[in-house]
A and B are shown apart, each in its own frame.
Chain A
């Protein structure tokens, strides 16, 4: 139980109810002795139901409350009150209900860890068997010492979960002991701990070597950085406690923040069920949450027909103030969103259809890519409309460009296999190249994960995942029965959304390539149709389609809407863009040369 994190190593309030003297019965697993008129009902409880100060609880409460186990609910509430900081309420709740959050053993264990009394901690955790193999004299000393500090200790350990590995837990405790000794510069004792206590219990020799190497550290700060450890006074003891408590049976030691976790689970299940969920706010707990269809953009409110021919790409600027479109008529048009979509700029320098656009992170520049025979990439400065960069060393169209967060460099993918994936900058230098695709890979789309760590490159049949920092290829998946057209990475950087011909969109886990979900219903067979995440919190998947309609699914798979925005038979809807700040707004670009909002 962390009490606001400000009181470190303080006593837990339920422990203070102890009064130091245990005249009443120690924790008894059954309720038999305590008279509450419960009679034959025997509830298995590990919370203590005891007589406090000679007074029995004022009322007798039925053990089942609205189908919930009273003990569980009460203990959860006590824990939540403590975590919220209402310690007095927690104490009085404990008193009134007669339940305690933790048995005295658990509290002693918690204090032992937080105060650094490692021998006590080990004994409390494992019981007397912890020292099975050690010299009995030491053992007797330690147990005697413990009994003076925690008189109610019966010699049994705490119940652990099934998969708990007790030697691993022992290793952690002793590792912390070792590190703290090093911090105090008590090298002799540290060495003793390393040799006698850590080595026999560990199978991980690499870790042992690393720990041994820490002996060489010249200063305490050096030790801290090398071991990635923040010192006895830092969070490390709490951290150790959390680690250990995860492996202790949850009935004995309730996992931290349990009530909060349960509430999160309820909220998540609401969100998953909510079909039109389009907000980023956490749902209120007061009433069951559902979103209204009216908050969802399903009507066309604006129709812009500035392009003379098919529009192939559309994107809002990051601040939501501007929108850029590019298409077959070789023009790039920029609109002011707030001013009724007035046209701000028209760029027609490209000699071929514009197939991709990308706003810089600060929205001052725009990259435009054009296909053959132009095959070049231009960067426009939007203040005055001049072209700052023109990269034309491609023999085949650059298909995608993604700005890097520094606003100067960008990743470029192209169909020219000599320049398949590169990092270029606005001064037209080629900074880097990604190798690792097979020699003739042609890249149709790239995606940079929001956490900046991974780059996914997509050629027609293969997906490559690279680690961005080291430029090394992490994995590669081949899909020979489909042709992929676009890829996007989700906001949590864990999944990627891949559009495929024919007629499929799949959500794939980046780490292991498992297909999490498939979205179907739309049509794409020969052309490049793009899909993307949409909605305020990325809760929707939207895609264009060759049947002139817009398809929107919930990320959980249900088809939410099919919107016939562009006239029937007017060709494909090529790309969609959701407004980054206004959740009820998105734009679609189609072959009819129109942008619909």
Chain B
């Protein structure tokens, strides 16, 4: 749908898709490093760019039931993490609207 170049971030440390180097998130937007994804360590980010969202589905996680949608890199279509749409438990509400990116598929750019 239309021409749209990738968004470029301006920050000291930028996380990018390891495969295609598309910028994904700022280091300063990390909310928590205490997450685990399918491939190991994952970080919770406030805001990510250059990702496409797939369909939402209900998933059971270690912390409870959530509605999440996978996110993939706009460029190379690799799944890089997921976004929380809704959390059923009150203590998990803070995650709503935030993004998880798996550390393994990220690379760091300066």
> Chain A residues in contact with chain B, CB under 8 A?
310, 312, 328, 353, 355, 371-373, 396-397, 399, 415, 440, 442, 444, 526-529, 546, 571-572, 574, 591
A312 in contact with B3 given A372-B20, A373-B20, A440-B10 (CB within 8 Å):
yes
Name the CB-closest residue of A to B19.
Answer: A373
Q: Provide the residues of chain B in CB contact with A312, threshold 8 Å.
A: 3
How far apart sit A526 and B22, CA to CA, in the bound complex (Å)? 18
How far apart sit A528 and B6, CA to CA, in the bound complex (Å)? 11
Quick one: which of B2, B3, B5, B6 has the most chain A CB within 10 A?
B3
Name the CB-closest residue of A to B7.
Answer: A460
Quick one: which of B1, B5, B22, B75 has the most chain A CB within 10 A?
B5
Cβ–Cβ contact B6 & A574, under 8 A: no
How far apart sit A396 and B7, CA to CA, in the bound complex (Å)? 11
B88 part of interface (Cβ distance < 8 Å): no
A-B contacts, 27 of them at CB < 8 A, read: A310-B1, A310-B2, A310-B3, A328-B3, A353-B3, A355-B3, A355-B5, A371-B5, A372-B22, A373-B75, A396-B8, A397-B5, A415-B5, A440-B10, A444-B5, A526-B4, A527-B2, A527-B4, A528-B3, A528-B4, A546-B2, A571-B1, A571-B2, A572-B1, A572-B2, A574-B3, A591-B1
Going nearest first, the 3 A-B pairs with the smallest beta carbon separation are A527-B2, A572-B2, A312-B3
Q: Provide the residues of chain B in CB contact with A571, threshold 8 Å.
A: 1-2
Cβ–Cβ contact A528 & B75, under 8 A: no
Name the CB-closest residue of A to B9.
Answer: A440
Q: Provide the residues of chain A in CB contact with B4, threshold 8 Å.
A: 526-528
A415 in contact with B3 given A372-B75, A373-B20, A373-B75 (CB within 8 Å):
no
A527 in contact with B3 given A372-B20, A442-B8 (CB within 8 Å):
yes
| A-B pair number, CB within 8 angstroms | 43
**Which residues of chain B (2-41) have a CB below 8 Å from chain A?**
2-6, 8, 10, 20, 22
Q: Provide the residues of chain B in CB contact with A373, threshold 8 Å.
A: 20, 75
Q: Provide the residues of chain B in CB contact with A371, threshold 8 Å.
A: 5
Name the CB-closest residue of B to A312.
Answer: B3
Name the CB-closest residue of B to A444.
Answer: B5
Q: How far is the CB of B7 from chain A (nearest CB, A)?
A: 9
How far apart sit A440 and B4, CA to CA, in the bound complex (Å)? 19
**Which residues of chain B (23-81) have a CB below 8 Å from chain A?**
75
Name the CB-closest residue of A to B6.
Answer: A372
Q: Provide the residues of chain A in CB contact with B3, threshold 8 Å.
A: 310, 312, 328, 353, 355, 527-528, 574
Q: How far is the CB of A78 from chain B (nearest CB, A)?
A: 62
Q: Provide the residues of chain B in CB contact with A591, threshold 8 Å.
A: 1-2
How far apart sit A529 and B4, CA to CA, in the bound complex (Å)? 9
Quick one: which of A312, A355, A373, A399 has the most chain B CB within 10 A?
A373
How far apart sit A572 and B10, CA to CA, in the bound complex (Å)? 28
Cβ–Cβ contact A527 & B75, under 8 A: no
Name the CB-closest residue of B to A485.
Answer: B3
Cβ–Cβ contact A529 & B2, under 8 A: yes
Cβ–Cβ contact A527 & B8, under 8 A: no
How far apart sit A324 and B4, CA to CA, in the bound complex (Å)? 20
Name the CB-closest residue of A to B75.
Answer: A372
How far apart sit A13 and B8, CA to CA, in the bound complex (Å)? 72
Quick one: which of B1, B20, B22, B75 has the most chain A CB within 10 A?
B1
Q: Provide the residues of chain B in CB contact with A442, threshold 8 Å.
A: 8
Q: How far is the CB of A487 from chain B (nearest CB, A)?
A: 15
Q: How far is the CB of A161 from chain B (nearest CB, A)?
A: 54
Q: How far is the CB of A499 from chain B (nearest CB, A)?
A: 12
Q: How far is the CB of A528 from chain B (nearest CB, A)?
A: 4
Q: How far is the CB of A70 from chain B (nearest CB, A)?
A: 64
Q: Provide the residues of chain A in CB contact with B5, threshold 8 Å.
A: 355, 371, 397, 399, 415, 444, 528
Name the CB-closest residue of A to B21.
Answer: A395
Q: Provide the residues of chain B in CB contact with A372, threshold 8 Å.
A: 6, 20, 22, 75
Quick one: which of B2, B4, B10 has the most chain A CB within 10 A?
B2
Q: How far is the CB of B98 from chain A (nearest CB, A)?
A: 21
How far apart sit A528 and B10, CA to CA, in the bound complex (Å)? 20
Cβ–Cβ contact A415 & B8, under 8 A: yes
How far apart sit A353 and B2, CA to CA, in the bound complex (Å)? 11
Q: Provide the residues of chain A in CB contact with B2, threshold 8 Å.
A: 310, 526-529, 546, 571-572, 574, 591
How far apart sit A310 and B6, CA to CA, in the bound complex (Å)? 17
Q: How far is the CB of B17 from chain A (nearest CB, A)?
A: 11
How far apart sit A529 and B10, CA to CA, in the bound complex (Å)? 24
With A355-B3, A442-B8 given, name 12 new contacts (CB 8 A): A328-B3, A355-B5, A372-B75, A373-B75, A444-B5, A526-B2, A526-B4, A527-B1, A527-B4, A528-B3, A571-B2, A572-B1
How far apart sit A529 and B5, CA to CA, in the bound complex (Å)? 12
Name the CB-closest residue of A to B10.
Answer: A440
Q: Provide the residues of chain B in CB contact with A355, threshold 8 Å.
A: 3, 5
Q: Provide the residues of chain B in CB contact with A353, threshold 8 Å.
A: 3
Q: Provide the residues of chain B in CB contact with A399, threshold 8 Å.
A: 5
How far apart sit A371 and B8, CA to CA, in the bound complex (Å)? 14
How far apart sit A410 and B8, CA to CA, in the bound complex (Å)? 25
How far apart sit A415 and B9, CA to CA, in the bound complex (Å)? 12
How far apart sit A528 and B2, CA to CA, in the bound complex (Å)? 7
Q: Provide the residues of chain B in CB contact with A574, threshold 8 Å.
A: 2-3
Q: How far is the CB of A326 from chain B (nearest CB, A)?
A: 10
Q: How far is the CB of B55 from chain A (nearest CB, A)?
A: 20
How far apart sit A440 and B8, CA to CA, in the bound complex (Å)? 10
Q: How far is the CB of B11 from chain A (nearest CB, A)?
A: 10
Q: How far is the CB of A437 from chain B (nearest CB, A)?
A: 13
